[in-house]
């Protein structure tokens, strides 16, 4: 049997060498399935973001200030899950990891629905921890796309998976709106519907053909220490670009409705701005991979930081509707370039046997930082105001711009000097 399996693998490898188009077809199929999982994952996240703070306020009788605690706990759980999820998938494979995450999410959806029907705020917080853990697994869809792709297709694959999120801009709010009243207790139906979404994610993930690390790769003595990998300039810049880009975007997105309300705009006005912002975040994903292949990842990171900087300048120049709208659209596009570019750059810093720990550290840095931002953004806006929030974000954008410019020009000269020596 072992001989037959070895013969089969040898023949399949020969076919792939002779007919590379078949391999390309397999890659595109996997990327499509991962993009579908991403769309479903972000649909569930969008539905929860739309409803969790309202549910928290309903379940709380006195301490309304804690209404956003369930949503904050979801971000915290997501951050704490990133490293264990990465190591788990490194041991058992991406497919098993995604199915496990979907199962945890389904438990969270069921517990959330039960907590709402019972009026139990604490139990609802526990449910948020479970759905947040599901999110921690799902954020590896983009890395799974890199795993199944050829080097020349990798940036496009990552970009296409993120593009699946644009579906959530329509499906998430629609799901929440159409299921909020289907049960006797308001919003319990949303979480029952999410059980189905999570199970579909697990079902779709089961059809993805993702290579699993062998025992030899996991136990390879050639693996570098994590500190040695993290010292690489490329690693530092990749993590900074994705983390700071995400923090700037999420901070400004979160406080924009508050700032617009303080400037006399209606909820309808701010919801339109947020919707345009989400389109700005994910619509460029259809071309970002092509741009990275055409102009290089460093140049895309530089452009992304410039767009985020331009957003801050626009926000500081006035408080009109067009300032909020154009500024948030620009920071959305800038985030797309920084996050996709940072992920692509990170894949250049590790060997296949090192990916679990490196990706885990990268995502822990990103989502740990975002969790802090999610908890503090509202308080910062109320304390210092809209203009000060933008000024606080400016140094982060400058750091990303300066380091990527150095990697683009200074880093190249350093490598050329070493080669000459």
For 197-218, write each residue's pLDDT tens digit: 999 999 999 998 877 665 555 5
Q: Alpha-carbon distance 28 to 9, whole Å?
A: 21
pLDDT the model gives residue 166: 84
pLDDT the model gives residue 19: 36
Top-confidence residue, 359 or 99 = 99
Instruction: For residue 49, give the nearest of 72, 75, 71 by alpha carbon.
Output: 71
Q: Interior CA angle at 46 toward 43 and 48, to 5°?
A: 110
Q: Alpha-carbon distance 136 to 335, whole Å?
A: 20
Same domain, residue pair 268 and 378: yes
Same domain, residue pair 125 and 191: yes
- Say if 421 falls within a structural domain: no
| Helices within 266-354 (DSSP H only) | 267-282, 285-295, 297-317, 321-346
- Say if 289 falls within a structural domain: yes
- Residue range 285-311: mean pLDDT, rounded: 93
- Residue range 3-8: mean pLDDT, rounded: 40
- Say if 192 falls within a structural domain: yes
Q: What percent of the chain is modeled with pLDDT above 70?
A: 87
Same domain, residue pair 81 and 198: yes
pLDDT tens per residue, range 264-279: 888 678 778 887 888 8
- Say if 219 falls within a structural domain: no
Domains in the chain, number: 2
- The boundaries of the domain holding residue 238 are 226-412
Q: Give the confidence band of 220 by pLDDT, cuts at 50, 70, 90.
A: low
pLDDT the model gives residue 227: 84
Same domain, residue pair 168 and 202: yes
- Say if 214 falls within a structural domain: no
- Say if 417 falls within a structural domain: no
Same domain, residue pair 272 and 408: yes
* Cβ–Cβ under 8 Å, residues 34 and 140: no
Q: Alpha-carbon distance 245 to 330, whole Å?
A: 12
Cα–Cα distances in Å, from 336 out to 24, 157, 281? 25, 14, 6
Q: Give the domain-ending residue among 155, 179, 209.
A: 209
Q: Alpha-carbon distance 301 to 245, whole Å?
A: 10
pLDDT tens per residue, range 77-107: 998 998 899 889 988 889 999 999 999 999 9
pLDDT the model gives residue 65: 63
Top-confidence residue, 150 or 157 = 157
CATH number at residue 329: 1.20.1250.20
Same domain, residue pair 183 and 109: yes
* Cβ–Cβ under 8 Å, residues 339 and 242: yes
pLDDT the model gives residue 2: 44
- Residue range 237-258: mean pLDDT, rounded: 88
CA dihedral 367, 372, 373, 375 (to 10 degrees): 120
Q: Give the confidence band of 11 by pLDDT, cuts at 50, 70, 90.
A: very low
pLDDT the model gives residue 214: 59
DSSP-derived secondary structure for 25-94:
HHHHHHHHHHHHHHHHHHHHHHHHHHHHHHHHHHH-SS-GGGTTHHHHHHHHHHHHHHHHHHHHHHHH-H
**Both structure tokens of 407:** 């990697």
pLDDT the model gives residue 63: 66
- Residue range 395-414: mean pLDDT, rounded: 83
Is the per-residue pLDDT at 342 higher than 50? yes
Residue 207 φ then ψ, to 5°: -95, -5
Same domain, residue pair 309 and 199: no
Same domain, residue pair 238 and 140: no
Top-confidence residue, 223 or 361 = 361
- 283 DSSP assignment: T
Axis-axis angle for helices 154-163, 285-295 (nearest 10): 160
Same domain, residue pair 369 and 257: yes
Q: Alpha-carbon distance 332 to 311, whole Å?
A: 9
- Residue range 120-135: mean pLDDT, rounded: 94
* Cβ–Cβ under 8 Å, residues 60 and 121: yes
Q: What percent of the chain is modeled with pLDDT above 90?
A: 41
Out of 13-17, 26-30, 55-59, 354-358, pick the least confident.
Answer: 13-17
Is the per-residue pLDDT at 324 higher than 60? yes
pTM: 0.75
Q: Give the domain-ending residue among 146, 176, 209.
A: 209
Is the per-residue pLDDT at 397 higher than 90? yes
- Residue range 298-318: mean pLDDT, rounded: 95
Is the per-residue pLDDT at 383 higher than 60? yes
* Cβ–Cβ under 8 Å, residues 116 and 94: no
Same domain, residue pair 314 and 172: no
- Say if 220 falls within a structural domain: no
Strand, helix or coil at 1?
coil
- Residue range 293-312: mean pLDDT, rounded: 94
Token pair 């921690």 in the structure block, residue: 136
Is the per-residue pLDDT at 157 higher than 60? yes
Q: Give the domain-ending residue among 150, 175, 209.
A: 209
Same domain, residue pair 249 and 373: yes
**Both structure tokens of 77:** 């759980």
- Say if 21 falls within a structural domain: no
pLDDT the model gives residue 58: 84
Same domain, residue pair 185 and 246: no
């Amino acid at each position: 049997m072992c001989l037959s399996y070895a013969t089969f693998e040898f023949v399949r490898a020969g076919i792939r060498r002779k007919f590379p188009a078949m391999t390309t077809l397999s890659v595109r199929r996997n990327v499509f399935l991962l993009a579908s999982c991403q769309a479903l994952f972000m649909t569930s996240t969008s539905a929860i973001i739309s409803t969790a703070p309202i549910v928290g306020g309903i379940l709380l009788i006195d301490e309304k200030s804690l209404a956003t605690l369930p949503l904050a706990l979801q971000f915290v759980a997501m951050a704490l899950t990133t490293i264990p999820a990465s190591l788990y998938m490194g041991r058992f494979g991406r497919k098993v990891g995604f199915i496990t995450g979907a199962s945890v999410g389904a438990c969270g959806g069921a517990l959330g629905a039960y907590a709402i029907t019972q009026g139990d705020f604490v139990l609802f917080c526990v449910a948020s921890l479970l759905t947040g853990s599901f999110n921690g697994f799902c954020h590896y869809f983009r890395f799974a796309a890199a795993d199944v792709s050829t080097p020349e297709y990798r940036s496009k694959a990552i970009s296409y998976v993120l593009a699946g999120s644009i579906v959530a801009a329509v499906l998430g709010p629609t799901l929440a709106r159409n299921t909020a009243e289907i049960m006797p207790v308001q919003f319990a139906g949303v979480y029952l519907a999410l059980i189905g979404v999570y199970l579909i994610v697990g079902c779709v993930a089961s059809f993805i053909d993702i290579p699993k690390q062998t025992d030899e790769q996991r136990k390879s003595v050639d693996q570098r220490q994590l500190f040695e990998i993290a010292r690489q300039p490329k690693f530092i810049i990749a993590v900074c670009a994705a983390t700071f880009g995400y923090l700037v975007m999420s901070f400004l997105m979160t406080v924009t409705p508050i700032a617009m309300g303080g400037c006399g705009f209606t909820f309808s006005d701010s919801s339109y701005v947020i919707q345009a912002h989400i389109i700005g975040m994910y619509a460029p994903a259809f071309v970002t991979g092509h741009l990275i292949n055409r102009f290089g990842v460093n140049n895309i990171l530089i452009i992304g930081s410039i767009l985020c900087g331009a957003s801050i300048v626009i926000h500081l120049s006035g408080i009109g509707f067009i300032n909020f709208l154009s500024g948030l659209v620009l920071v959305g596009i800038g985030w797309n370039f920084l996050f996709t570019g940072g992920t692509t750059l990170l894949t250049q810093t590790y060997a296949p046997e090192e990916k679990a720990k490196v990706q885990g550290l990268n995502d822990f840095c990103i989502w740990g930082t975002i969790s802090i931002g999610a908890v503090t953004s509202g308080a910062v806006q109320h304390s210092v105001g809209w203009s000060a929030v933008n000024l606080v974000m400016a140094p982060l954008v400058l750091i990303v711009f300066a380091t990527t410019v150095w990697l683009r020009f200074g880093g190249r000269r350093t490598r050329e000097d070493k080669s000459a020596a």
